[in-house]
Chains A and B, each alone.
Chain A
Amino acid sequence: MRAAVIVFPGSNCDRDMAVALKAAGADVSMVWHKDATLPEGVDLVAVPGGFSFGDYLRCGAIAAQSPVSQAIVAHVERGGYALGVCNGFQVLTETGLLPGALMRNAGLKFLCKTVGLKVATTASAFTEGYAKGDVVNYPVAHHDGNYTADAETLAVLQGEDRIAFTYAQNPNGSVADIAGVLSENRRVLGMMPHPERAVDAGHGGTDGKALFAGLLGQLTAA
């Protein structure tokens, strides 16, 4: 599987993401935000965490207008896979590839801790390695992770089984405890918690491994 990790000015989880993908067996290239095209044959685009463009205007808003973002949209429209983590999730909502928006945490504090997540669906390449209802531990590190969507959007997400993960204990005020959502074709996942920071015993846990392994399994077979 070929993966591209996008690098914006202010990205800071790009190398962690690359390490996690490589450990799972992916062939990884780093793509600078000014590149208007992705490397040939990319199966997965990973949009990493960080503070792209200093979070100016809104988190992810400026990054969503980068040349590479047009390439990401085209990749997804072709049926390509994408994973957005933390700031990457914010970027994917700002591009319109995922519904809803991420607002300031309800408690107003920057949260940096490990949280329990419930696997809400296993019907995706990202979550098929888990069992439904599994509780996995991933770190979160964000100030703007309060997921919001209007009632209609929420009903669609619930009706189409597109909520990938929910918080066991809601840390940030997200509607319906949502920690991660899938696109309509289930090939784009955006989530605030960091699976790439839970793939090595040195991280304090390896619950994120199954996400990358599932993705590799699905995409290598395809």
Chain B
Amino acid sequence: MKARVHVMLKNGVLDPQGAAVKHALGTLGFAGVEDVRQGKVIELELAEGTTEATIGEMCEKLLANTVIESYRVEVL
């Protein structure tokens, strides 16, 4: 089985990289880009039967820093 973990900075945490990407899109002439948030996608190849609780534990312990990041697990 496969799972995809999306890690994003929490709302309210300033994202300097997202701000730079937004600026660059404006420079390229794309109007109307109101905000950009940059995150990570981590794909996991897992043994069948791995529970969502276990994946959640992986996120809490390593994949995300929950002080500044939130995560969302998608089992594929």
Q: A interface, by DSSP: helix, strand, loop or mixed?
A: loop
- A45–B65 alpha-carbon span in the complex (Å): 23
- Give the total of A residues in contact with B, Cβ under 8 Å: 20
Q: Are B62 and A146 in contact (CB under 8 A)?
A: no
- A61–B67 alpha-carbon span in the complex (Å): 13
- Whether a CB of chain A sits under 8 angstroms from the CB of B14 is yes
Report B's interface with A, CB cutoff 8 A. Answer: 9, 13-14, 16-17, 20, 61-63, 65, 67-68
- Whether a CB of chain B sits under 8 angstroms from the CB of A12 is no
Top 6 A-B residue pairs of the complex, sorted by shortest distance between their CB atoms = A101-B67, A101-B68, A106-B16, A104-B16, A108-B20, A101-B65
Q: List 28 A-B contacts (CB under 8 A).
A: A57-B63, A61-B62, A61-B65, A65-B61, A65-B62, A93-B67, A100-B67, A101-B67, A101-B68, A103-B9, A103-B14, A103-B16, A103-B68, A104-B16, A105-B16, A106-B14, A106-B16, A107-B16, A108-B16, A108-B17, A108-B20, A146-B16, A148-B13, A148-B14, A148-B68, A150-B67, A173-B14, A173-B16
